């Protein structure tokens, strides 16, 4: 059976078969995206199908990604590598919401995935694509979560995993997973952007399947976050989605998913999307704010190491999506990230620093009047609290002063005999 999908260059429109291993356009180097036949999908009554699958007990439809298979990757079930990802909680309230000044602020906790970050949604699809394309080794550059996820999914189906990470500054919870799942882990002398350049060269040279979000199938799986949120909300569309931005794959996926739902008539309202960057790793924000050409940040830095990225590969896709939904880009300081984190954690929910950009950013956009008090807002928490215990503990011990952060809402342990 032929695949009802194609790959298409986001810049020049050139089309390619999905059976080819390709991440960029061979003529203009633009990124590729998966094109679904939306006319055909429009006729399928997908919403009813997704509702029927909601309580499925077995794979693939019990997965919060494969439940939406037709809109993601309609591959044969034998190719699917799944750990039953997704099905994460959408928290309705907590003190984080008062802190942000919003009456209807929900948090989708993607840290509740099998390897404790949102990456599992893209990875189940990426590793299944690797199988579809008959690859037996996969590789990625990572600030930690992508590598943890890739190593797990590769191990679960007997593939080899090759990982490039920046030397130092990768959170221990993540490094620990990569090693535990037997990923061949190379700590390079350089930052994430250097690792990204290196892994692309190595994949080309040695014919290894690249699983960063430059891979169009990663983006497809990632879209399931928004499908699942909307299904949890009975397909009522919120006013805003707010999420952190690093390599900018996740927000590109979210807007692509929304756009497809809109085009096939499952939703009729377009929500706005806010992408939040750390002040010291903010190339998209600067471009957005100053309305100038994209320029990489030469020396990215932030306590939110997951998004310590200066040259995000998906900036064009991201921008296209933000423009489509009348979205915004905001930045938050190190102090704002960690204080917002204290609120997310203190609500009993908990998340790693990068995730908490969602709450810090919402608070800022509320203060500026961009978001209204009664807007319905969904924030995405991208990773689990335990991914980065050091950041949390040093905040509560008030030992982050050298990074310009005070433990404003600290809860230090008391020494008793």
Contact between 383 and ligand F0G per CB under 6 A: yes
Contact between 307 and ligand F0G per CB under 6 A: yes
Contact between 388 and ligand F0G per CB under 6 A: no
CA angle 202, 208, 211 (to 5 degrees): 95
How far apart are alpha carbons 125 and 133 in whole angstroms? 12
Provide the strand spans (E) within 59-136. Answer: 90-91, 104-109
Contact between 350 and ligand F0G per CB under 6 A: no
Question: Least distance from C-beta 249 to ligand F0G, angstroms?
Answer: 4
Q: At what angle do helices 224-232 and 249-263 cross, to 10 degrees?
A: 60
* Interacting residue with ligand F0G among 25, 71, 354, 359 (CB under 6 A): 354
How far apart are alpha carbons 231 and 47 in whole angstroms? 9
Question: Least distance from C-beta 312 to ligand F0G, angstroms?
Answer: 7
Quick one: how many helices (H) and strands (E) in the chain? Answer: 16, 13
How far apart are alpha carbons 378 and 93 in whole angstroms? 11
φ/ψ (deg, to 5) at 94: 165, 175
SS3 414: coil
Question: Least distance from C-beta 275 to ligand F0G, angstroms?
Answer: 8
In the complex with ligand F0G, the residue whose CB is nearer, 221 or 244, is: 244
C-alpha dist (Å) from residue 26 to 12, 208, 383: 11, 18, 34
φ/ψ (deg, to 5) at 380: -100, 125
# of chain residues touching ligand F0G (CB under 6 A): 22
* Interacting residue with ligand F0G among 113, 124, 311, 355 (CB under 6 A): 355
Nearest to 191 by CA among 297, 83, 309, 98: 309
Q: Please identify, among the stretches 15-23, 64-72, 248-256, 367-375, the one whose residues bind ligand F0G according to the rule CB under 6 A.
A: 248-256
Question: Least distance from C-beta 291 to ligand F0G, angstroms?
Answer: 21
Specify the pairing of strand 5-9 against strand 15-16: antiparallel
Conformation bin of residue 123: beta by default, left when phi > 0, alpha when psi is -120 to 50: alpha
* Interacting residue with ligand F0G among 146, 200, 281, 331 (CB under 6 A): 146
* Interacting residue with ligand F0G among 94, 166, 183, 244 (CB under 6 A): 244
Contact between 306 and ligand F0G per CB under 6 A: yes
Contact between 282 and ligand F0G per CB under 6 A: no
* Interacting residue with ligand F0G among 248, 258, 274, 303 (CB under 6 A): 248
In the complex with ligand F0G, the residue whose CB is nearer, 266 or 275, is: 275
Q: Please identify, among the stretches 142-150, 262-270, 285-293, 395-403, the one whose residues bind ligand F0G according to the rule CB under 6 A.
A: 142-150
Q: Please identify, among the stretches 62-70, 136-144, 232-240, 342-350, the one whose residues bind ligand F0G according to the rule CB under 6 A.
A: 136-144
* Interacting residue with ligand F0G among 88, 145, 232, 281 (CB under 6 A): 145
Q: Please identify, among the stretches 98-106, 143-151, 183-191, 403-411, the one whose residues bind ligand F0G according to the rule CB under 6 A.
A: 143-151
How far apart are alpha carbons 195 and 353 in whole angstroms? 22
- Which residues here bind ligand F0G, judged by CB under 6 A? 117, 119, 142-146, 213, 244-250, 306-307, 352, 354-355, 382-383
């Amino acid at each position: 059976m032929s695949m009802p999908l194609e790959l298409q260059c986001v810049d020049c429109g050139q089309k390619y078969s999905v059976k080819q291993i390709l991440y960029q356009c061979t003529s203009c180097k633009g990124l590729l995206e998966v094109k679904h036949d939306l006319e055909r999908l429009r006729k399928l009554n997908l919403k009813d199908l997704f509702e029927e699958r909601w309580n499925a007990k077995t794979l693939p439809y019990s997965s919060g990604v494969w439940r939406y298979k037709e809109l993601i990757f309609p591959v044969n079930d034998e190719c699917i590598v799944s750990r039953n990802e997704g099905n994460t909680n959408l928290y309705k309230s907590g003190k984080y919401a008062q802190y942000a000044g919003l009456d209807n602020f929900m948090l989708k906790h993607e840290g509740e995935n099998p390897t404790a970050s949102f990456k599992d949604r893209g990875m189940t699809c990426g590793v299944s694509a690797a199988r579809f394309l008959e690859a037996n080794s996969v590789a990625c550059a990572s600030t930690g979560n992508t590598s943890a996820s890739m190593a797990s999914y590769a191990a679960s189906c007997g593939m080899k995993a090759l990982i490039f990470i920046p030397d130092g500054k990768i959170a221990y919870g993540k490094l620990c997973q990569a090693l535990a799942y037997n990923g061949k882990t190379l700590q390079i002398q350089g930052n994430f952007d250097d690792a990204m350049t290196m892994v692309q060269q190595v994949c080309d040279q040695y014919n290894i399947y690249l699983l960063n979000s430059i891979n169009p199938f990663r983006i497809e799986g990632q879209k399931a976050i928004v499908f699942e949120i909307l299904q949890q909300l009975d397909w009522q569309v919120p006013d805003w989605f707010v999420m952190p931005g690093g390599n900018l794959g996740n927000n590109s996926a979210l807007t692509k998913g929304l756009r497809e739902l809109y085009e096939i008539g499952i939703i009729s309202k377009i929500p706005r999307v806010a992408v939040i960057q750390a002040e010291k790793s903010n190339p998209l924000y600067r471009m957005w704010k100053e309305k100038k050409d994209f320029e990489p940040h030469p020396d990215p830095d932030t306590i939110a190491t997951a998004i310590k990225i200066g040259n995000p590969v998906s900036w064009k896709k991201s921008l296209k999506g933000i423009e489509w939904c009348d979205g915004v880009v905001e930045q938050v300081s190190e102090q704002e990230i960690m204080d917002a984190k204290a609120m997310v954690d203190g609500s009993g929910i908990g998340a790693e620093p990068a995730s908490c950009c969602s709450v810090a950013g919402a608070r800022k956009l509320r203060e500026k009047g961009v978001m209204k008090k009664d807007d319905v807002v969904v924030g995405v928490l991208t990773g689990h609290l335990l991914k980065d215990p050091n950041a949390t503990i040093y905040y509560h011990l008030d030992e982050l002063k050298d990074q310009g952060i005070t433990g404003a809402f600290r809860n230090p342990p008391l020494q008793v005999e």
